[in-house]
C-alpha cells in the first residue's frame, strides 16, 4: 500500500455523495434529479465507500465504476484512483488521477482540485521504471506479453514481470524479474541466453534396471503359488471327505449283503449277485475318485507352498510364516509375511 498523509485521506472522504452534486449548471442539476439512474449511482457510490472503509478496494473500484457510468465526475475518478493505489496498481491509478484532472475543466470540484496535484506527484514518484538496452537487430522484446520498447524508460507496476526475447529461429528467452516501488532498473539484453532444456524423462542407469524388474516378478510368482496351494488344499479336502463317505457307505452295504453262512460277499466283479451289490460297486468308485482327488490336492498344495517359499528365497522381502490345518470338518490355510 502506498503511503498517504492521513490529512489528505480524511479530506478525500469528505467527497462522499457531493461528487454527484458537481454540475455544470442549475439546469443540469434539475435534469439529473429527473434521471432514475442517478439514484442507482448514489447507491453504488455508497456501497463503494463502505467497501473502501473496510479495506475491500477491489470491490470498491467496481462500485465506483458503476456510478461513473451514470455520471463521470472528478470525485469518482479520484476515489477509483485512490483504491487502485492501495492495490499497488500504480499505472492504472495514474490514469484515473489524470482523468480526474481532465474532468476538472467541466465540474466545480474544489476539494479534488486541491488534493489532486499531490496525489499525481506521489504516483509519479512511486512508479518504477525499467530500461532494456543492448537489443540485437531483429530482437522481438515483450514484457508480460506486450511488445516493449528498448532504450527508453518503461513505466511499469511494482512486482513480478516476465521478460521474453525472441531472436530469429532460436528458442525464446524468458526471464522473471521483480521491481520495487520507485526503483529504476536497467537490464542488458546482449548476454541473455536460453535456459538449458531439462529432459522430462531422466536416463535410467544400468544399476536401476534390475531393481525396477524385481518388484514386478516376485508378487506374481508368490501369489500364483499361494493360489495353487489354496486350490490344492481345497481339492485334497474334498477328496478326503468323498473317500471317507464312500468308505462308510461301503462298510454299511457290505454288512447287509454278506453271506451269513460263509461270510463271503455274494457280489460278482461287476456288482451282480445281490440287489445291494450295485450300490457297493458305486461306493467303491467314489472311494477311488476321492483318493485320486486327495492325492492331486496334496501334490498341488505342496507345489504351491514350495513355489511360495522359493519366491521368498529368491526375492527376500521379510520373514514369512505359512501354516495349514486339515481335518474332516475343518480346513485352514494361512500366510503371514511382509510383501
Beta bridge partners of 331: 326
Q: Where are the domains of the chain?
A: 6-125, 129-188, 210-337
Looking only at the bridges linking them, the beta strands covering 129-133 and 154-155 are: antiparallel
- Asked if pLDDT for residue 11 goes beyond 50, the answer is no
Which residues 6+ apart lie within 8 Å of 101 measured at CB? 74, 116, 120
Higher pLDDT, 286 or 22: 286
Are the C-beta atoms of 266 and 274 separated by less than 8 Å?
yes
308 CB neighbour count, 10 Å cutoff: 23
Compute CA 320 distance to the chain's CA centroid, rounded to the nearest angstrom.
39
Task: Using pLDDT thresholds of 50, 70 and 90, give the confidence band for residue 330.
Answer: very low
CATH number of 6-125: 1.25.40.10
Binning pLDDT at 50, 70 and 90, where does residue 70 land?
very high
pLDDT, mean over the chain: 77
Q: List, in sequence order, every beta strand (DSSP E) within the chain.
A: 129-133, 140-143, 146-147, 154-155, 159-166, 173-179, 184-188, 320-327, 330-337
Percent residues over pLDDT 90 in the chain: 34
Distance CA 306, CA 229 (A): 9
- Where residue 323 falls among pLDDT bands split at 50, 70, 90? low
Which tens digits make up the pLDDT trace of 29-67? 555 556 778 899 999 999 999 999 999 999 999 999 999
Residue 297 exposure: Cα atoms within 13 Å on the Cβ side: 21
Q: Kindly report, residue by residue over 132-185, the tens digit of the pLDDT.
A: 898 888 888 999 988 887 888 899 999 999 999 988 888 888 989 999 999 999
What pLDDT was estimated at residue 103? Answer: 95
CB-based contact 85:73 (threshold 8 Å) = no
Residues 124-138: what's their mean pLDDT?
Answer: 90
> What are the b/e assignments for 152-162, b being 16+ CB within 10 Å?
eeeebbbeebe
Q: Per the structure block, which three cell numbers stand in for 13?
A: 472522504
Amino acid at each position: 500500500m502506498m503511503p498517504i498523509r492521513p490529512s489528505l485521506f480524511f479530506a478525500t472522504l469528505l467527497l462522499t455523495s457531493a461528487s454527484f452534486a458537481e454540475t455544470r449548471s442549475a439546469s443540469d442539476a434539475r435534469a439529473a434529479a429527473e434521471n432514475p439512474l442517478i439514484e442507482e449511482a448514489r447507491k453504488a457510490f455508497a456501497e463503494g465507500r463502505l467497501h473502501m472503509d473496510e479495506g475491500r478496494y477491489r470491490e470498491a473500484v467496481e462500485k465506483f465504476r458503476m456510478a461513473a457510468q451514470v455520471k463521470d465526475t472528478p470525485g469518482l475518478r479520484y476515489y477509483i484512483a485512490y483504491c487502485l493505489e492501495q492495490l499497488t496498481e500504480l499505472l492504472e491509478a495514474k490514469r484515473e488521477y489524470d482523468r480526474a484532472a481532465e474532468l476538472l475543466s467541466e465540474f466545480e470540484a474544489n476539494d479534488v482540485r486541491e488534493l489532486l496535484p499531490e496525489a499525481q506527484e506521489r504516483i509519479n514518484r512511486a512508479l518504477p521504471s525499467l530500461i532494456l538496452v543492448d537489443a540485437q537487430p531483429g530482437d522481438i522484446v515483450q514484457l508480460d506479453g506486450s511488445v516493449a520498447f528498448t532504450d527508453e524508460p518503461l513505466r511499469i507496476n511494482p512486482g513480478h514481470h516476465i521478460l521474453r526475447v525472441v531472436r530469429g529461429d532460436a528458442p525464446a528467452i524468458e526471464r522473471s524479474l521483480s521491481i520495487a516501488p520507485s526503483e529504476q532498473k536497467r537490464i542488458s539484453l546482449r548476454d541473455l541466453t536460453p535456459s538449458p532444456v531439462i529432459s522430462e524423462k531422466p536416463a535410467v542407469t544400468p544399476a536401476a534396471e534390475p531393481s525396477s524388474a524385481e518388484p514386478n516378478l516376485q508378487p506374481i510368482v508368490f501369489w500364483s503359488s499361494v493360489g495353487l496351494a489354496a486350490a490344492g488344499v481345497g481339492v485334497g479336502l474334498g477328496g478326503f471327505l468323498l473317500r471317507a463317505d464312500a468308505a462308510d457307505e461301503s462298510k454299511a452295504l457290505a454288512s447287509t449283503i454278506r453271506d451269513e453262512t460263509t461270510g463271503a460277499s455274494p457280489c460278482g466283479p461287476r456288482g451282480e449277485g445281490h440287489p445291494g451289490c450295485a450300490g457297493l460297486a458305486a461306493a467303491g468308485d467314489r472311494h477311488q475318485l476321492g483318493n485320486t482327488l486327495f492325492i492331486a490336492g496334496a501334490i498341488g498344495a505342496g507345489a504351491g507352498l514350495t513355489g511360495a517359499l522359493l519366491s521368498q528365497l529368491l526375492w527376500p522381502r521379510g520373514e514369512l510364516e505359512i501354516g495349514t490345518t486339515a481335518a474332516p470338518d475343518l480346513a485352514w490355510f494361512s500366510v503371514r509375511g511382509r510383501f
